[in-house]
Amino acid sequence: MRLINQQLSPVAATALKFAPFLVLILAYLLGSSLRLAENPNDKLLPALTSIADAVDLMAFTPDRRSGDYLLWTDTWSSLKRLAAGLGISTALALVIGVCIGILPFFRALLAPFVSFVSMVPPLALLPILFISMGLGETSKIALIVIGVAPIMIRDLAQTVLALPREQIVKAETLSASSWLIALRIVLPQALPRLLGSLRLQLGPAFLFLIAAEAISADSGLGYRIFLVRRYLSMDIIFPYVAWITFLAASADFGIDRFRRWLFPWSQLEAGR
Amino acid sequence: MTALTLRNVWKEYGDQIVIENLSLDIAPRSFVALVGPSGCGKTTLLRLLLGQERATRGTIMLDGAALPDEPGPDRGVVYQRYSVFPHLTVLGNVMLGPELQSARVVGRSFGAARRHLNEAARQMIADVGLAGSEDKYPAQLSGGMQQRLALAQALMMKPRVLLLDEPFGALDPGIRTDIHHLMKRLWDERPMTVVMVTHDLREAFTLGTRVVALGRKRNRPEEADRYGASITNDIDIWPPRVAGARTLFNTEYALGWDDPTVQAVTSGRPDQPPET
Ligand SMILES: Nc1ncnc2c1ncn2[C@@H]1O[C@H](COP(=O)(O)OP(=O)(O)OP(=O)(O)O)[C@@H](O)[C@H]1O
Ligand SMILES: [Mg+2]
């Protein structure tokens, strides 16, 4: 039988799903124990026990100076910035993307401009943002928006443009105005794609967030990682990275579930 | 009463001439069946009548006035494909037109108006034989069912002109017979002019009051792009068929009542024409 037609039993499929994770953990444990056997003070790959201690210190013990539980305050500040940045980007993508997609006026006015702006490397703009908007929250959120919004706008405009012309004409014969076509025909069909593009932008959004926090912040996941880097505290950095990954993966999963629940038909279309 | 008039209409896409010097008068309430080889410009002609595309030269008039520049609710359409909205259920698709027409801001109706509309839509869905599928999405329907849904959706607007592009191509003989009956009944009952593209000559002669054949007058392959299609044949059905009136032939006979293969699908009664 051809490899492309291989049928996996559910047990095998589950085993395969977990295998790479298991290999990663085992490789870490092996490397860590080898290095620690050679030098008990090694900081590069700390033992699980020191990681557990660090997690306890960061997540479940109040900080000596501020009395905060650092992991949670860091998470909260980072997620606020991320949500604001992605929220603004999504709203921009929705309004501008749909306008570019259905209105010739806005297509002529904005499509080339948005394509141009999406080529600006956002991180190169970071100094400009810090200088012009100060070191506070605004510049961090602005970086996320500049980094992800243009791509989301382009993606959504493409999706809208790709709707069959027949559908739009059909709506006109059903007496729809431009506004009603946007509201009842284009918007519902663009939203599932918008959620999909939001999922894809989670990674870049975290990248820009951590870059901004690394340079200037007083709390946040990225800030913490770059702070403890000075002390080579791998026992804190590893759990923080794992936690960020977990947050991003949960958001990815949650958004997809949300799309399926809200737009059951989008799943049917994909299966055709 | 809606008459369509085409005067010396040309349609070119770039260098390619698709329709060449076509003139046609369509009387009010006629049922024109448009036939012709694939790729000769039948869909293009429908698009012109719909207002989706503009003629390169020539004029098209609707009841003596120039055709509006854009599609509107007076001209309904069922396309070859992409005719229904994938994000709405069958019921949602059928209710959409009247909803858009009455609620100009939110595009949805509520309360008593919605209940009335819901009833009318269910009736229409039953008429096209889709009862029981109200809550399905188009992706869950077969091609033929989607076409019937598109027909129901267009008819809800009570258009004065109905343009059909191979609407019944994907239907089996039994359902096709049913839908021909429905089509005839609706055309009888409503003041509407129908232009239907079809590849099925029998369908053309059963439903139409007039069969118009489109084709290229010159057909040498090397000059295919330089000569467009125009009317090669224009046949009035005899005896004339008039909307709402019976004809010499009882056209209410099920199409193919004498065809055993169709009989097997539609009813158990052989040998005699079904009563109507
Ligand atoms: N938007 C377009 N741009 C360029 N050429 C087009 C366009 N639409 C149609 N044509 C050309 O016009 C010709 C007629 O196309 P049309 O779709 O009207 O054919 P048709 O008679 O409906 O065929 P079928 O029976 O296969 O549906 C074709 O040769 C096609 O290549
Ligand atoms: Mg066609």
Question: What tens-digit pLDDT sequence spans chain A (272 residues)?
Answer: 899 999 999 999 999 999 999 999 999 999 999 999 998 888 888 888 889 998 898 888 888 888 888 899 999 999 999 999 999 999 999 999 999 999 999 999 999 999 999 999 999 998 999 999 988 899 999 999 999 999 999 999 999 999 999 999 999 999 999 999 999 999 999 999 999 999 999 999 999 999 999 988 888 999 999 998 988 889 999 999 999 999 999 999 999 999 999 998 888 876 55
pLDDT at B275 over 90: no
Residue B8 lies in a domain: no
- For B229, phi then psi, to 5°, come to -90, 150
pLDDT (tens digit per residue) in B99-126: 999 999 998 999 999 999 999 999 999 9
Beta carbon of B41 within 6 Å of any ligand 1 atom: yes
Task: Using a pLDDT cut of 90, give the percent of chain A over it.
Answer: 77
Residue B256 lies in a domain: yes
Q: Which pTM was predicted?
A: 0.85
> Ligand 1 pocket check: which of B40, B52, B199 to mutate, most ligand atoms within 8 Å of Cβ?
B40
Q: B145 and B272: one domain?
A: no
Average pLDDT, chain B: 84
Q: B207 and B176: one domain?
A: yes
User: What is the structure's pLDDT at B219?
Assistant: 67
What is the distance between the alpha carbons of residues A205 and A84, in angstroms, rounded to a whole number?
11
Q: What is the whole-number distance in angstroms between the Cα of residue B229 and the centre of ligand 2?
A: 13
Residue B152 lies in a domain: yes
**Residue that wins the pLDDT comparison between B268 and A24:** A24
User: What is the structure's pLDDT at B260?
Assistant: 58
Give the C-alpha distances (Å, rounded to integers) separating B219 from B12, B40, B199, B223.
17, 11, 20, 7
What is the distance between the alpha carbons of residues A122 and B163, in angstroms, rounded to a whole number?
51
Which among A175, A188, A263 has CB closest to B73? Answer: A175
User: What is the structure's pLDDT at A28?
Assistant: 93
> Ligand 1 pocket check: which of B18, B82, B227 to mutate, most ligand atoms within 8 Å of Cβ?
B18
- Domain end residue (candidates: B158, B176, B211): B158
- Closest-CA residue of B relative to A177 is B104
Contacts of B3 (CB under 8 A, 6+ apart): B25, B26, B27, B28, B62, B63, B64, B193
What is the distance between the alpha carbons of residues A32 and A47, in angstroms, rounded to a whole number?
6
Q: B192 and B105: one domain?
A: no
pLDDT at B271 over 50: no
Q: What is the whole-number distance in angstroms between the Cα of residue A226 and the centre of ligand 1?
A: 62
Q: B114 and B189: one domain?
A: no
Residue B2 lies in a domain: no
Q: What is the whole-number distance in angstroms between the Cα of residue B240 and the centre of ligand 2?
A: 28
Residue type present at position B150: A
Helical segments of chain B, H only: 42-50, 90-102, 111-127, 143-155, 173-189, 201-207, 260-266
Q: ipTM score of the complex?
A: 0.83
DSSP string across A11-68:
HHHHHHHHHHHHHHHHHHHHHHHHHHHH-TT--SS--HHHHHHHHHHHHHS--TTT--
Domain A74-269 falls under CATH 3.30.428.10 = no
Q: B143 and B221: one domain?
A: no
| Residue with CA nearest ligand 1 atom 26 | B38
Q: CB–CB of B107/A183 below 8 Å?
A: yes
- B68 close to A (CB below 8 A): no
The radius of gyration of chain A's CA atoms, rounded to the nearest angstrom, is 23
User: What is the structure's pLDDT at B2?
Assistant: 65
Q: CB–CB of B87/B42 below 8 Å?
A: no
User: What is the structure's pLDDT at B231?
Assistant: 85
How many independent structural domains does chain B possess?
2
What is the distance between the alpha carbons of residues A66 and A94, in angstroms, rounded to a whole number?
41
Optimal mutation site among B52, B87, B93, interface A, most CBs of chain A within 10 A = B87
User: What is the structure's pLDDT at B254?
Assistant: 52
User: What is the structure's pLDDT at A10?
Assistant: 95
Q: B250 and B130: one domain?
A: no
- Domain end residue (candidates: B139, B158, B177): B158
What's the rounded mean pLDDT across residues B215-232? 76
Question: Tokens for B81?
Answer: 């494909």
Optimal mutation site among A167, A175, A181, interface B, most CBs of chain B within 10 A = A175
- Closest-CA residue of B relative to A271 is B139
Task: Using a pLDDT cut of 70, give the percent of chain B over it.
Answer: 86
The range of the structural domain enclosing residue B274 comes to: 27-55+64-74+161-276
Beta carbon of B35 within 6 Å of any ligand 1 atom: no
- B73 close to A (CB below 8 A): yes
Q: B42 and B168: one domain?
A: yes
Least confident interval from B19-23, B93-97, B239-243: B239-243
- Domain end residue (candidates: B158, B176, B208): B158
Residues in chain B with CB shorter than 8 Å from the CB of A104 are none
The radius of gyration of chain B's CA atoms, rounded to the nearest angstrom, is 19
Q: B178 and B50: one domain?
A: yes
Beta carbon of B18 within 6 Å of any ligand 1 atom: yes
Residue B244: exposed, middle, or buried by beta-carbon count in 10 A (0-12, 13-18, 19+)? exposed
Q: B69 and B188: one domain?
A: yes
Q: B171 and B225: one domain?
A: yes
How far apart are the CA of B145 and the nearest CA of chain A, in angstroms? 16
What is the distance between the alpha carbons of residues B261 and B276, in angstroms, rounded to a whole number?
21
Q: Give the CATH number of the domain where residue B268 resides.
A: 3.40.50.300
Least confident interval from A254-263, B54-63, B91-100, B254-263: B254-263
Q: CB–CB of B202/B255 below 8 Å?
A: yes
Least confident interval from A74-88, A170-184, B140-154, B236-250: B236-250
Q: B153 and B102: one domain?
A: yes
Q: B175 and B266: one domain?
A: yes
User: What is the structure's pLDDT at B246?
Assistant: 60
What is the distance between the alpha carbons of residues A92 and B39, in angstroms, rounded to a whole number?
42
Say whether B235 sits in a helix, a strand or coil: strand
Say whether A218 sits in a helix, a strand or coil: coil
Residue A267: exposed, middle, or buried by beta-carbon count in 10 A (0-12, 13-18, 19+)? middle
